[in-house]
Chains A and B, each alone.
Chain A
């Protein structure tokens, strides 16, 4: 037996599984209302809401978090697109 078939715990993500995707979600961040639904429903847990930047002194506005999709693991299931309340996620045919 020369192949080591035991692995380090937590090393599953070494295998990038995004290649299984046929459709690719593309998010229109400009019209996204930052509700966070897509991140909560993604079964692959591959959408992260980016942390809001701290307001610069005197700026007065807190920038809203935006979804960021990790295409290394997104399988293109389309759940995010179908759940987005303002329909800003479009599923497009993946071209490699």
Chain B
């Protein structure tokens, strides 16, 4: 196990990918993911890595190159952001439809116009229906964990995975992080060995990505859907195995004493994490780095007393896995803590209606729990989400009405 270091988020991801040992890396530079692939290109140039690094003329090409490489039965990697992911869209759908275990990082960034290079999650929400597993990391260490997990799950289930990290907030900030060694990763994530006849091989010619008539298409799509749903327990299970393999890297600090995780105010599995009061009147649901700020607010309320007290408590429910959507888990936690107000705070909006995460949470809890569910759109285009804003969301979450609100300051 390697020692904790102070690393830039992009470098932490690049070092992790180097130790995961993909055979082919292809990418096109786009802010804010550029540092990741720059580092990977450096490792290759310096003789520290032996993957093929294929320079592409666009993200469409980069995605196509890793699709083709993955179809030959090897491990691949790419990384992108914003317009880059949108340019990949057609290939993104094909990768999932062809059941290729591709892993890419999306350094989440706003989508034009107006042009904006800063962070929000609009880019990935645009391809949420493509059939990929979508993971969201809160901090550097979680990003490292999720990349290793991503390959394990992808190769086990033949489903591609996007690991989402907030652009700049994670990619360009420095934090303490440990990178598991190549040897330790290999113990958890063995070499990729696709089954014969499922990949392109001159000795055993097969056609991949062929057409399917109305007689078969629907069953194939349904299987992709069903397999994504059945990935939920696998993600939980693999996360537990990861915890066992790297015990020092994943457990969040215990908030307080208690015999069950919920009494301690902490639930943590591969799908989600709950942090806060075991009895929480108000629960904020969020994803990614903003959860760190929300935890700060919960901690400050906790130290000023009251917030962890019965009835008036506050908690944050962090989704790590957005697709497949862990509806049952969400309902269970909201029930267990007795949530009366659910505030979904998110950095994306389905223009013309509401935030995509809110729509999912609302649909999931409909008829299952009796709570006000409200939507707060925050942090679009890199707008800072301050503790002050979180406090105002907590206040606004109480009561009915005003379901979708943009909180800009």
Taken together as a complex, chains A and B put the C-alpha atoms of A15 and B207 apart, in Å, by 15
Number of interface residues of B (CB under 8 A): 21
- Binary B-proximity of A77-93 (CB < 8 A = 1, otherwise 0): 00000000000000000
A-B pairs under 8 A by CB, number: 42
Assess whether A8 is in contact with B99, with CB atoms less than 8 Å apart: no
Assess whether A11 is in contact with B99, with CB atoms less than 8 Å apart: no
**Residues 1 to 30 of chain A near chain B (Cβ within 8 Å):** 1-9, 11-12, 15, 17
Contact residue among A5, A12, A17 (Cβ-Cβ distance under 8 Å from B98) = A5
Query: With A1-B99, A1-B158 as given contacts, are A8 and B223 in contact (CB-CB < 8 Å)?
Result: no
Majority secondary structure of chain B interface residues (helix, strand, loop or mixed): loop
Assess whether B223 is in contact with A9, with CB atoms less than 8 Å apart: no
Taken together as a complex, chains A and B put the C-alpha atoms of A11 and B216 apart, in Å, by 15
**Residues 194 to 250 of chain B near chain A (Cβ within 8 Å):** 197-199, 205-208, 210-213, 215-216, 219-220, 223, 227
Q: A30 to chain B: closest CB distance in Å?
A: 36
Q: Please name the residue on chain B nearest to A11 by beta carbon.
A: B207
Number of interface residues of A (CB under 8 A): 13
With a cutoff of 8 Å between Cβ atoms, the chain B residues found around residue A9 in the complex are 205-207
Assess whether A1 is in contact with B213, with CB atoms less than 8 Å apart: no
Contact residue among B208, B213, B219 (Cβ-Cβ distance under 8 Å from A6) = B208
Assess whether A2 is in contact with B223, with CB atoms less than 8 Å apart: yes
Q: B53 to chain A: closest CB distance in Å?
A: 28
Q: A1 to chain B: closest CB distance in Å?
A: 5
Taken together as a complex, chains A and B put the C-alpha atoms of A38 and B65 apart, in Å, by 40
Majority secondary structure of chain A interface residues (helix, strand, loop or mixed): loop
With a cutoff of 8 Å between Cβ atoms, the chain B residues found around residue A15 in the complex are 211, 213, 215
Q: Please name the residue on chain A nearest to B198 by beta carbon.
A: A6
With a cutoff of 8 Å between Cβ atoms, the chain A residues found around residue B207 in the complex are 6-9, 11
Contact residue among A1, A2, A3, A7 (Cβ-Cβ distance under 8 Å from B210) = A7
With a cutoff of 8 Å between Cβ atoms, the chain A residues found around residue B197 in the complex are 4, 6
Assess whether A3 is in contact with B208, with CB atoms less than 8 Å apart: no
Query: With A6-B207, A7-B207 as given contacts, are A1 and B98 in contact (CB-CB < 8 Å)?
Result: no
Taken together as a complex, chains A and B put the C-alpha atoms of A8 and B197 apart, in Å, by 9
A2, A7, A9, A12, most chain B CB atoms within 10 A? A7
With a cutoff of 8 Å between Cβ atoms, the chain B residues found around residue A17 in the complex are 213
With a cutoff of 8 Å between Cβ atoms, the chain A residues found around residue B99 in the complex are 1, 5
Query: With A8-B206, A9-B206, A12-B210 as given contacts, are A3 and B198 in contact (CB-CB < 8 Å)?
Result: no
Taken together as a complex, chains A and B put the C-alpha atoms of A3 and B158 apart, in Å, by 12
Chain A to chain B contacts (Cβ below 8 Å), 14 pairs: A2-B223, A3-B220, A3-B223, A4-B197, A5-B208, A6-B199, A6-B207, A6-B210, A7-B206, A7-B207, A8-B207, A12-B210, A12-B211, A15-B213
- Which of A's residues lie within 8 Å of B, judged by CB? 1-9, 11-12, 15, 17
